[in-house]
Amino acid sequence: MSRRLIGFDPGSRLCGWGVVDAEGRKIRHVDNGVIVLPAKKPLTERIAILVPKVRELIAIYRPHRAAAEQIIFVRNVRAAVALAQVRGALVAACSLSDLAVDEYGPTEVKKAITGRGRAAKEQVAEMVMRLLNLPEVPQEDAADALAVALAGSLLADAPSQGPRVASGRGSGKGRKAWEAYVNERKE
């Protein structure tokens, strides 16, 4: 049975989103994009723009679940508060649409996608492109959102297999198991 997931990479100016269909171990790209929030507008107005756009995406794509990236450590307290407010609005928009939201930390997403929790953003984007057979790497925020959706699918389908078998350094038996897993998903 196919399940549709929508992933979000919350941001106070750019909010990435990505939709994937998962059936067993096969995952297919549906769509992705970025909600652009006007930087010069107050945060409350940006949130007022974000919520209906998120609800519209949910109405269009009708996902079974949502996945959102958890807030990462931010040195700037003001930026962290703004990001938390945007993320809260995003989760509320999903809840208002009767959509459950799973949360994943950046390290968890990176490990699910690349086999390494400390992978560079470029490595994650490249793996997203490869796993979804995309012709090119998506825009950064959209790639992050697709990574969150993929992580949601991978971690839900195979919590003790797949990406979690890879070693922390990306070499040896764990790396070979990860590569076999990625190749199997492409078929």
Residue-wise pLDDT for 153-178, tens only, equals 988 744 433 332 222 333 444 445 45
> What is the number of domains present in the chain?
1
Cα separation, 176 vs 165, in Å, equals 9
Average pLDDT over the chain, rounded to an integer: 86
pLDDT of 185 > 70? The answer is no
CATH number of residue 121's parent domain: 3.30.420.10
- Using one digit for the tens of pLDDT, what is the confidence trace for 101-125? 999 999 999 999 999 999 999 999 9
Lowest mean pLDDT among 45-59, 67-81, 137-151: 67-81
In contact, 63 and 19? CB cutoff 8 Å: yes
- Using one digit for the tens of pLDDT, what is the confidence trace for 11-28? 999 999 999 999 988 999
Please give the span between the terminal C-alpha atoms of the chain, in angstroms, as a whole number.
17
Active site residues: 9, 69, 141
Half-sphere exposure in the Cβ direction for 1 (13 Å, CA): 2
Q: Which domain holds residue 32?
A: 3-186
Cα separation, 20 vs 25, in Å, equals 12
